Amino acid sequence: MRNVYVLGTGMIKFGRYPEKTVPELGGEAVLSALADAGIAMDQVQFLACGNFGQANASYAQRILQTVGQTGIPAINVANACATGSTAFREAYLSVGSGLYDIALAVGVEQMGKQGLLGGGAGGADPAYAPEGKLGSGLMPAVFGQAGMEHMRKYGTTLAHMAKIAVKSHKHATKNPFAQYRTEVSLEEVMNARMVAYPNTLFMCCPTGDGAAAAVLVSEDKLRQLAGGRKRPRIAASVLTTDPYTARDAALPDVSTLTRTAAQQAYEAAGIGPEDLSLTELHDCFASAELIHYENLLLCKEGEAGKFIDEGGGQHPDLGGKVPVNVSGGLLSKGHPIGATGVANICELVWHLTRDERARERQVPDAKVGLAHVIGLGSACTVNILTI
């Protein structure tokens, strides 16, 4: 693989845009990323577009029809919650392989006020729909139970997980791109309406609309186009799926594929978790962030609760260490599925390049960033960027 760099990034504030079309949302992110990169659409040689909810809608082509019909190869990517990050990886592979010199990744999703995800419909006759009759396959239940495994094994408490939601909401107050920017107290989180134990309302990510884009270039193109600006290198871009476990039919294992991806990514990048300046990980629920501290080796096995109690995951400005989800994470920044993985990349790039867009929450001296996404099914991506 050749070296690949992120030349430009752009995203729209996550929220709700019922008056906009999906190609418009995606197109805005694309135009923002192109402007940031200092290039025009007709210089782009390949486009990978991530959208999950309407995977058959050909949004890659429709975005080109919105911002520039240049006739380039374009693909539509769907990979559960890892849709955007998989599109980013496709763009990375297209440049890393030597096939193209400039590629564009865009992730976009318009979910509106879509409620609970998962559960399954149950075929032609609703009498056989399993949801609520054979337990729950809803996302809050699945990721709640992943956290319960940690509780069972290590005595972790609901308060540990609630503290994560407090942290995320506090972080988001500094991010103008976040869907929710209101601080919440530990009491408010713990006393909020329970969605699926152990996750209360504030411990569940919202649904919403959003888009994010990134321009990826080869080293030669970086020299030509960066104009002396330092741009992050993609030191690792890993994608894994879940290996067999005896509980597969009942409860997806969201940990093993994350651990494998992290291990491969650290190895490829030639760094360790201690080298990370910041991490954006997949906190679809507070219970999920807790287990990923260990899965990504940010703390020792079984010590996620202790890690949280000692300020782990908090921004250094708040007196914390090992900053995680300084953007506000999925819990507060939002989780428009296809956009999430690319938005994570934007966040890393902005810290690594001292970009104005991360000014209020800049992690000091940021040199290495890790972005993790997991989608049920399951797919996991870990991208490591260095500068």
Partner 1 sequence: MAEQSQTQGPRPIVPFLKLEPKPHLVGKRCGKCGAIYLSESRIACAKCMSRGPFSDVALSNQGKVHVFSVIHQSFPGIKTPYITAIIDLPEGVSVRANLIDFPAEKAEKDPHSLFDLPVEMVTEVVAKDREGHDVVRFCYRPKK
d(CA 143, CA 161): 12
Minimum CB–partner distance for residue 135 and partner 1 (Å): 4
Q: Does 19 bind partner 1 (CB under 8 A)?
A: no
Residue 274, CB half-sphere, CA atoms under 13 Å: how many?
Answer: 1
Q: Does 135 bind partner 1 (CB under 8 A)?
A: yes
Minimum CB–partner distance for residue 194 and partner 1 (Å): 4
Q: What is the DSSP string of 152-166?
A: HHH---HHHHHHHHH
Query: Which one of the spans 13-21, 99-107, 243-251, 343-351 is the region binding partner 1 (CB under 8 A)?
Result: 243-251
Report the residue from 15, 112, 130, 273 that binds partner 1 according to the rule CB under 8 A: 130
Report the residue number, 246 or 365, with the smaller CB distance to partner 1. Answer: 246
Report the residue from 42, 65, 69, 128 that binds partner 1 according to the rule CB under 8 A: 128
Q: Enter the tokens of residue 265.
A: 């990514």
Can you state the percent helix, strand and coil of the chain, rounding each to 5?
A: 40, 20, 40
Q: Does 113 bind partner 1 (CB under 8 A)?
A: no
Classify burial at 218, counting beta carbons within 10 Å of its beta carbon; exposed 0-12, middle 13-18, buried 19 or more: buried
Exposure string over 51-73, b if 16+ CB within 10 A, otherwise e: bbbeeeebbbbbbbebbbeeebe
For tokens 């190895």, name the residue: 267
Q: Does 141 bind partner 1 (CB under 8 A)?
A: yes
Report the residue number, 243 or 272, with the smaller CB distance to partner 1. Answer: 243
Minimum CB–partner distance for residue 260 and partner 1 (Å): 16
Report the residue number, 198 or 320, with the smaller CB distance to partner 1. Answer: 198
Q: Does 151 bind partner 1 (CB under 8 A)?
A: yes
Report the residue number, 287 or 327, with the smaller CB distance to partner 1. Answer: 287
Residues facing residue 6 across a β-bridge:
216
* C-beta of residue 241 within 8 angstroms of C-beta of residue 379: yes
Q: Does 119 bind partner 1 (CB under 8 A)?
A: yes
Q: Does 250 bind partner 1 (CB under 8 A)?
A: yes
Q: Enter the tokens of residue 270.
A: 């030639």
Query: Which one of the spans 72-80, 168-176, 240-248, 358-366 is the region binding partner 1 (CB under 8 A)?
Result: 240-248
Least Cα distance to 237 among 139, 377, 91, 105 occurs for: 91
Report the residue number, 193 or 274, with the smaller CB distance to partner 1. Answer: 193
Least Cα distance to 315 among 297, 331, 296, 329 occurs for: 329
Report the residue from 136, 240, 255, 344 that binds partner 1 according to the rule CB under 8 A: 136
81 labelled catalytic:
yes
d(CA 128, CA 133): 9
What residues from 155 to 214 belong to the interface with partner 1 (CB under 8 A)?
155, 193-198
Query: Which of the residues are catalytic?
Result: 81
Which residues contact partner 1 (rule: CB under 8 A)? 116, 119, 125-128, 130-138, 140-141, 144-145, 148-149, 151-152, 155, 193-198, 244, 246-251
